[in-house]
Structure 1
Amino acid sequence: MTEIVVRHLGLVEYEACYQQMLEFTQSRTAETADEIWLLQHSPVFTQGQAGKAEHLLMPGDIPVVQSDRGGQVTYHGPGQLVVYLLLDIRRLGMGPRQLVSLIEDSIIAALAHWQVEAFAKPDAPGVYVDGRKIASLGLRIRNAKTFHGLALNIDMNMEPFLRINPCGYAGLQMTQVCSEVREPVTFDQVADELQKQLLSRLRSDRESQS
């Protein structure tokens, strides 16, 4: 079975990356290796398929882009780790709910590495610390091929979250890794740990299917 390809793309514009995801997903075949893209976006608000205009309170100078991922409005900016999961879940032998749980469990395990106690909510996808949201999820699946993924706040300007109702929830408090850890941690350290946790779980699922 093919290995998962991991790409570190740095700081990229949302719309250009979105087009690359679409092209990859549309052109892949049964033999195409799954890929995971780790990156950061320039400041942008993205509206998911269920997004409602009233949740954009005052976007100001930050562009708003319509996206075909699940969920409502969210913010992306430097210092936030975005992970796009380009997976063939039929080949992996899992369903959408299993994948969401795998992603949430990976984030929770990565945060536990720095003694940050995080949890998932069955009725609101994402990962939370003391009720504050630290990571958001938004996936799209076409013909059992996934794209989009997760956004984990690490060390970023949090002010733009005040310009929206994050994920469609008025008053939802957001947090980030640097505000929750006891000792300083770098963006790259968190990215490396989350990559390790995701790959460990995905490979375990692949091996159980082989």
Structure 2
Amino acid sequence: MTFYRSLLQNVIKLAKTFVPIFLFLLVLISLHWGLGLECLVAACDGGRGSSSVAAEFHPAGEPREETPPPPPIPRAVLVPELVQPLLPDNLRMVELQQRLSIYFIGRHDRAHLPQFLGILEKQMLLEKRIEAALVRDGYAPDSIFAKRGEIRGIVLNHPTRGVALSESTLNRYLSQIERDGTRLSTPYSRVMRAIGNLNLLIRRNNE
């Protein structure tokens, strides 16, 4: 009887020692579980819970790096020019003047002189632009020089009416060259089309 009483007293002592520790651990577990549940609810509610927790699930977007625009193409590439043209300006002027005079038959008077000179000036500029682009694109200068009469018919005449292009049309082509480059202009496209269709035979440097 004394043995059982002593055993019971020891059990009570152990209980008094470990019960507070057990209760303390239980409280810690409850607090941890409650915080985890709060985080889960905040994440599921899309930020309606704690603002600090919502910030972890919805971080601010990082600024996107914009791709810098490509550098502009140099004008010398878009509108090539020859240091030494295929034809001296004085000789080119004489040839173009004689050619243009055919389209001014019956209008060789002072009244039409400004129109004649305006067209002649623009023809010279346009022809030199086309020649320079052809040379830069690999066509043989001597072949371009030999075919200059055919090239003039393609570049300086109306494609269907057989008349010289007006000064306003020539100005439009020159503006197009300055804006987009010689190779994207209408007259150069006509020359390329004639070469592609074998209507204009110009030899390349490697041929």
- Give the TM-score range, shorter chain: under 0.3
Higher strand share: 1
What TM-score comes out, normalization by structure 1 length?
Answer: 0.27
Bigger helix fraction: 2
Structure index of larger Rg:
2
